[in-house]
Amino acid sequence: MKEITLARLIEVTKRLTEVTKERNALMANLSIEQVLLQVEEDIRPKVIEVPTRGSRVVILVPVGLPEYGFVMHASEEHDTAHQIVIKGRVTKRNYTVVCACCSTETYGANVPKNEASKKYLREEFAFNIQGICEENGIHTLFLRRADNWNKRYGKSSILPVETSLCVGVIQESHGNKAVEKALSFIDWNLSKL
């Protein structure tokens, strides 16, 4: 065994720091679909793209629970308190839960930021979400600040529920085993809800 010296320890630490930076840069460029490919197929949620004019938004539908969906930003993190960490076999990556009080529909959109265009984008976003939910049998959407959904996007057949309540809501209707399996793609220790 090599003798450990301070110089050797510093050298190894520098290499480790460089490799960690490179790994983090690679992980930052992974799409949500690429991260989910690392999740075992029998627990991998379905990803439904929400058409937007800006940043990607998706709905994650847990396996075996098609009536529920998590509305998520698909790539970049946004400054919100709710983050879900998806645990793949090789990587873990956190994604931001969409906040119903924020202007999600305008993030990254290359349109005039006047009131008329904001209203149009808000209505278009709500229409797209509603259509996806109807088409896929989703009745409950988990969001941050869910109580603002109806005020911001209008009443619909969708039940907006605070993400932090997802486990209890699903347990109540499907039991513990359903929650354990369907939501096991989430790293609960690192997620912030």
CA geometry: angle at 140 spanning 162 and 183, to 5°? 75
This prediction's pTM:
0.87
Within a domain: 166: yes
Within a domain: 191: no
Confidence bin at 76 (pLDDT 50/70/90): low
Within a domain: 15: no
Provide the residue range defining the domain that includes 176.
31-182
Instruction: Give the Cα separation of 50 and 159 in Å (integer).
Output: 17
Within a domain: 130: yes
Within a domain: 5: no
Q: How far is CA 90 from CA 60, 70, 165, in A?
A: 20, 23, 28
Query: Model confidence over 135-189: pLDDT tens digits?
Result: 999 999 999 999 999 999 999 899 999 999 999 999 999 999 999 999 999 999 9
Within a domain: 10: no
Query: Model confidence over 27-50: pLDDT tens digits?
Result: 777 889 989 999 999 999 999 999
Within a domain: 53: yes
Q: What is the pLDDT of residue 181?
A: 93
Q: How far is CA 175 from CA 64, 119, 167, 171, in A?
A: 12, 40, 10, 4
Q: Where are the beta strands (DSSP E) in the chain?
A: 46-50, 57-61, 68-73, 83-87, 92-96, 140-143, 159-162
The single-letter DSSP state of residue 155 is: -
Within a domain: 14: no
Q: What is the pLDDT of residue 166?
A: 96
Count up the domains in the chain and report the number. Answer: 1
